[in-house]
Amino acid sequence: MSNNIFDVISSSISVPNALAIETDGGARLSYGDVVALSGKMANALVRLGLKPGDRLAAQVEKSTDSVILYLATVRAGGVFLPLNTAYTPRELEYFLGDAEPAIFVCDPARLDLLQPVAKASGARVVTLDASNGGTLADAARESEANFATIPRERDDLAALLYTSGTTGRSKGAMLTHGNLVSNALTLRHAWHYSSADILIHALPIFHTHGLFVATNVTLLSGASMILLAKFDPARILGLMARATVLMGVPTFYVRLLDEPGLTRQATASMRLFVSGSAPLLEETHRRWQERTGHAILERYGMTETNMNASNPYDGERIAGTVGMPLPGVELRIADADGNEMAAGEIGMIEVRGPNVFTGYWRMPEKTAEELRLNGFFITGDLGCIDERGYVRIVGRGKDLIISGGFNVYPKEVEAEIDVLEGVVESAVIGLPHRDFGEAVTAVVVCEKNAPQDAAAILSLLQERLARYKLPKQVVFVDDLPRNTMGKVQKNLLRDRFSRLYSE
Ligand code: AMP
């Protein structure tokens, strides 16, 4: 058997008739269907020109076919590049130009808008919509189900996932089949996953959490998933009676706590609630336990490394920590020179293991900056390890804002605001927000006599930035506070406006 993630998944299928994926719309795919449909789609992709090592970029809505598209791409030896559905054509221009995919898959409704962007990158465009329609779906339907999966080695690329960059440019994290296989096997074991599990899958599948953690682990276990197009607390609550696992970002749990129906009884058949992608407030953990009797299992990972640490399945799940390094993953706290620090001290979290990516796509300098020669990846997160071995993340070395589980880099938003007429400069900060964890907030300095018009700024930004990056509020100040080195003191702004969303 090769190390192709698909081969590893299919070799663990013991009951082809067992249910793999179901949707709200009534679709039900067995494991046999998943193999056949991904075979059809893989044949269609090869006919469209996809060769092993080629990238396939997809900006598609969540559907059974979008999961099949991921599987078909890796079966054909391609490199899957999922793109946030909120990205604007301007943003896509960068991703397609950088990754140079052989094929770009988009929603038919956006074809006219995106065709020129794809053309400029040299990609062939096909379409797929939320109800499994589109030119790619048609081509797959007419194709053979038999497909000999292309063997892949551990180091061969399986996916290219873009992260945001502090300098405004996103970086493509190159993930191998070995990365995906090792992490999925590790999590299956760590979280006691089995074929009896039913996952409520409400995460987007363009991000490592929904795509790799949720999808790979479920399929590798012969379990099933209820694929939901979006997060709907009432709907999820209703499904808990017949599901066993929920994976979510902290926002999911905050919103579910607003549901009066969230009780011990409503969650009695659930065995595991996983949270990650952003810090879960200790208060949320405590309230969840009070209401349901379940301790949320918080884990820590990132695009470049898959999952690094997890609270224990059997042992104590400690609120405010992300648990211990997963088996096979080395996690250490180091100073700027990479020297390991004493227990309890705060420093940069570095990780090494089979889960860690091989580098940034076509960015050897960035790779060298963040991936040490000894294999440790410098995560950019600051943290410490307590005397019991639990990892605590205390902050982010970079200025990342995590809003509703999505990463927003202030620099990128600031750059778009600063070019607007009448604006002198801006500072974008994350402020505490009950629902989103952090709310993107723009602090703007306008030219004298220029109108301070928050609505006008927001409406101009809407054309240029994905929705989740848009400031929730724009506030105006006369000057930005600066230190003697001329750096904007964002900490002072955060303090000054800390109650903006709680007032
Ligand atoms: P992404 O690459 O989008 O998955 O974002 C990764 C970043 O999310 C990490 O570097 C952390 O800063 C943050 N993150 C992920 N999980 C957690 C967690 N459980 N607690 C705090 N921060 C987290």
Structure confidence by residue, pLDDT tens digits, 473-499: 999 999 998 764 355 788 889 999 999
Give the model's pLDDT for residue 293: 98
Answer whether residue 240 shows pLDDT above 50: yes
Q: Helix, strand, or coil here: 112? A: helix
3-state secondary structure 275-298: ECCCCCCHHHHHHHHHHHCCCCEE
**Closest protein CA for atom 8 of ligand 1:** 277
328-357: average pLDDT: 94
Give the model's pLDDT for residue 411: 78
Average pLDDT, rounded, for the chain: 94
Q: How far is the CA of 377 from the centre of ligand 1 (A)?
A: 14
Give the model's pLDDT for residue 395: 63
369-376: average pLDDT: 96
CB 175, CB 306: distance < 8 Å: yes
Q: How far is the CA of 277 from the centre of ligand 1 (A)?
A: 4
Q: Is the CB of 219 under 6 A from ligand 1?
A: no
The rounded distance, in Å, linking the Cα atoms of 396 and 383 is: 9
Q: What is the per-residue pLDDT across 161-188, written as a single tens digit (0 to 9) for each?
A: 998 644 457 899 999 999 999 999 999 9
**428 pLDDT tier (thresholds 50, 70, 90):** very high
Collect all residues with Cβ–Cβ distance below 8 Å to 85 and sequence separation of at least 6.
Answer: 59, 60, 61, 204, 206
Give the model's pLDDT for residue 227: 98
Q: What is the per-residue pLDDT across 121-160, written as a single tens digit (0 to 9) for each?
A: 999 999 999 998 999 999 999 999 999 999 999 999 999 9
Structure tokens at 261: 């129906």
Q: Is the CB of 302 under 6 A from ligand 1?
A: yes
Q: How far is the CA of 290 from the centre of ligand 1 (A)?
A: 26
Give the model's pLDDT for residue 269: 96
Answer whether residue 278 shows pLDDT above 90: no
| Amino acid residing at 481 | P
**Closest protein CA for atom 23 of ligand 1:** 278
CB 328, CB 355: distance < 8 Å: yes
The rounded distance, in Å, linking the Cα atoms of 391 and 465 is: 34
**Closest protein CA for atom 20 of ligand 1:** 279
**Closest protein CA for atom 21 of ligand 1:** 279
